[in-house]
Amino acid sequence: MDFTNPSLLLSIFLLLLPSLISSQICQRNCGKETLKYPFGSGPGCGDPRFQPHVTCSNQKLTFTTHTGSYPITSIDYTNQIIHISDPTMSTCSCTVPSKGFGLNWDAPFTFADSTIFALVDCSMNSSSICQSNGYDDGSNSNSKLLCDQETPICSLLYSCRPISTTINLPISTCCVYTPVNLGPAFEMDLQKLQCPSYTGFYNFNDQEMDPEKWNYGIALKYKFSVTNDYPGSCDACERSHGVCGYGGTYNSFICNCPNGINTTADCFFISSYNNGFRNGKRNYIVPNLWSIEAYLLFRSFFGKLFST
């Protein structure tokens, strides 16, 4: 066998590489939660736009904004919605002080239509809850409430003992916060609103009249892109048992395969290499830490072979 033939050596290297690299860097799960595009288990996995906001650490999936980090309780991939919980959010079981909640302006998320926020124990003297709407003659007659005090939701929340004992009527009240996406700042500033706490829920659970049965938390909607189309390259990668990721200077798409190798197309790259082209497009191997180590091992092995 001619070990000086470069083509032969490369073929042997490609055949040996899967046995040298055995672990898939991008994982398919974080704890009990299944991970699918656009989310990933770490840097280089999923969509780079989502990586700063949704992370997996110690098998726990977390959503992070400038107001804090929040556990992700579930992901609805069909409707493209994640559900998060806020430990400082009041519920029908308990009331706790909170600083509020906000979204980063550049985050690829918006509030799902099902999310409802209610401010708890707000000062009746708070002028921040009223926003001027058009001409203000000083009588405040043209003001528009940012907080809806007439909704039956607050009346139902009053049936929760922790909330009813917190509300100091008539000097404080509960109201439903109405600005879409928390207004232009994407933030609920409770200190400015003079409300020490808030609650949020996204599902009545078919029990509209029983707040103890509601699903408390925040539902956030996400989009894949401006057109919200699922990337075809990622679909092909997942059908070949790969995990979608990114790499390089420009965060270009890569497919992380079960044997740990990254390609620019799908995980059929070895057969694609042997057949020359697959579907008219050559697949390329993208070097990563593991493939570099394998290459060094390969070079060391054959270097010794050539020297003998």
Tokens at 99, concatenated = 């600083």
Q: How confident is the model at residue 158 (pLDDT cuts 50, 70, 90)?
A: confident
At residue 306, what is the residue type? F
At residue 233, what is the residue type? S
Angle subtended at Cα 12 by Cα 8 and Cα 18, rounded to the nearest 5 degrees: 155
Whether the predicted pLDDT of 13 surpasses 60? no
In the beta sheet, which residues pair with residue 65?
68
Angle subtended at Cα 216 by Cα 128 and Cα 169, rounded to the nearest 5 degrees: 45
Whether the predicted pLDDT of 28 surpasses 60? yes
Report pLDDT for 137.
39
Beta strands 218-222; 109-111: pairing state: antiparallel
At residue 31, what is the residue type? G
Cis peptide before 170 (omega within 30 of 0): yes
Q: How confident is the model at residue 104 (pLDDT cuts 50, 70, 90)?
A: very high
At residue 54, what is the residue type? V
Please list, residue by residue across 227-255, b when 16 or more beta carbons sit within 10 angstroms of its beta carbon and e when fewer do. eeeeeeebebbbebebbbbbbeeeeebbb
Eight-state DSSP code of residue 230: P
Q: What is the pLDDT of residues 190-243, one digit of tens each?
A: 888 888 899 999 999 999 999 999 999 999 999 998 899 999 999 999 999 999
- By CB neighbour count within 10 A (0-12 exposed, 13-18 middle, 19+ buried), where does 32 fall? exposed
How far is 125 from 25, CA to CA, in rounded Å? 55
Eight-state DSSP code of residue 284: -
Calculate the alpha carbon distances from 241 to 43, 176, 202, 268 in Å: 19, 46, 34, 9
Supply the mean pLDDT for the chain: 79
How far is 40 from 27, CA to CA, in rounded Å? 7
Tokens at 151, concatenated = 């909704």
Q: How confident is the model at residue 129 (pLDDT cuts 50, 70, 90)?
A: low
How far is 154 from 148, CA to CA, in rounded Å? 9
Beta strands 54-57; 33-34: pairing state: unpaired
Find the Cα–Cα–Cα–Cα dihedral 274, 276, 282, 286, rounded to 10°: 30
DSSP string, 164-230: HHH--TTTEEEEEE-SGGGTTTTB--HHHHT-SEEEEEEE-TT-TT-GGGSEESEEEEE-SSSS-PP
Tokens at 304, concatenated = 């010794």
Rounded to the nearest 10 degrees, the angle between the axes of helix 6-20 and helix 289-307 is: 130
Find the Cα–Cα–Cα–Cα dihedral 124, 126, 127, 130, rounded to 10°: -70
Q: What is the pLDDT of residues 35-76, one digit of tens each?
A: 999 999 999 999 999 999 999 999 999 999 999 999 999 999
